[in-house]
């Protein structure tokens, strides 16, 4: 019996959602198509009705993972004054529950090293996601566009790097690093002041 289009779309989304979590939790090389299909409660044989390759699945999973993070950022900062946006973002991104939830975390902190060793197609999708995250964060700031994007990029890079270090470190070092970037984000809160010459 053939699946209806609606049922096929539901299955497709279930596979992508499972892949987004599996890749972040286990890494690209540590995740097989079979792992993803089991996590999605689907048979391995059905995979190729939805994707041509693991690479195609990975691209879709990255898109989903970044979309999830963009939604979190936009929802979390929608009511925050611009001067508090960077500190709020940093506190949320480096919160203990986010650091511990690798499978549900930002793909930058979870997959950067894996993507480095991946294909150009995967790297391009990852780059699109990073640019979208920076633009999204910058939209919640005040100041000229170039300055907002630079401040957003610095903060995002600090946050992702801190989470990567925290996950690989002992608890004391992890807490020290996370606290340091939260404190630093407060200094990036407002645009640089201009002096009169």
Q: Which CATH number is 161's domain given?
A: 1.10.357.10
Q: Specify if 38 maps to a domain.
A: no
Look up the domain containing 176 and give its range.
54-187
Q: Specify if 177 maps to a domain.
A: yes
Report residue 6's pLDDT band, with 50, 70 and 90 as the boundaries. Answer: confident
DSSP character string of 102-154: GGGS-HHHHHHHHHHTS-HHHHHHHHHHHHHHHHHHHTTS-S-HHHHHHHHHH
pLDDT digit string (tens) for 90-109? Answer: 999 999 999 999 999 999 99
pLDDT digit string (tens) for 170-192? Answer: 999 999 999 999 988 777 665 55
Count of the separate structural domains present in the chain: 1
Q: Specify if 179 maps to a domain.
A: yes
Report residue 43's pLDDT band, with 50, 70 and 90 as the boundaries. Answer: confident
Could you identify the residue written with the tokens 């989470």?
A: 163
Contact yes or no for 8/46 (Cβ under 8 A) = no
Q: Specify if 126 maps to a domain.
A: yes
What integer is the mean pLDDT of 137-143?
96
What integer is the mean pLDDT of 137-149?
96
Q: Specify if 21 maps to a domain.
A: no
Whether the pTM exceeds 0.75: the reply is: yes
Q: Specify if 121 maps to a domain.
A: yes
Q: Specify if 183 maps to a domain.
A: yes
Q: Specify if 25 maps to a domain.
A: no
What integer is the mean pLDDT of 15-42?
96
Q: Is the model's pLDDT at 82 over the cut of 70? A: yes
């Amino acid at each position: 019996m053939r699946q209806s289009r609606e049922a096929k779309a539901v299955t497709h989304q279930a596979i992508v959602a499972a892949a987004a979590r599996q890749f972040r939790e286990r890494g690209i090389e540590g995740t097989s198509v079979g792992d993803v299909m089991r996590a999605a409660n689907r048979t391995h044989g059905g995979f190729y009705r939805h994707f041509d390759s693991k690479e195609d699945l990975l691209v879709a999973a990255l898109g989903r993972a970044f979309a999830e993070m963009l939604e979190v950022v936009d929802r979390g900062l929608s009511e925050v004054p611009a001067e508090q946006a960077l500190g709020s973002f940093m506190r949320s991104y480096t919160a203990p529950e986010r650091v511990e939830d690798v499978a549900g975390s930002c793909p930058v902190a979870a997959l950067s090293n894996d993507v480095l060793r991946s294909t150009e197609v995967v790297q391009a999708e990852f780059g699109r996601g990073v640019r979208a995250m920076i633009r999204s964060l910058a939209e919640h700031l005040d100041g000229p566009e170039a300055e907002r994007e630079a401040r957003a990029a610095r903060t995002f890079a600090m946050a992702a790097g801190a989470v990567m270090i925290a996950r690989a470190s002992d608890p004391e070092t992890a807490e020290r690093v996370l606290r340091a970037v939260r404190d630093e984000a407060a200094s990036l809160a407002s645009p640089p002041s201009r002096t009169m010459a």
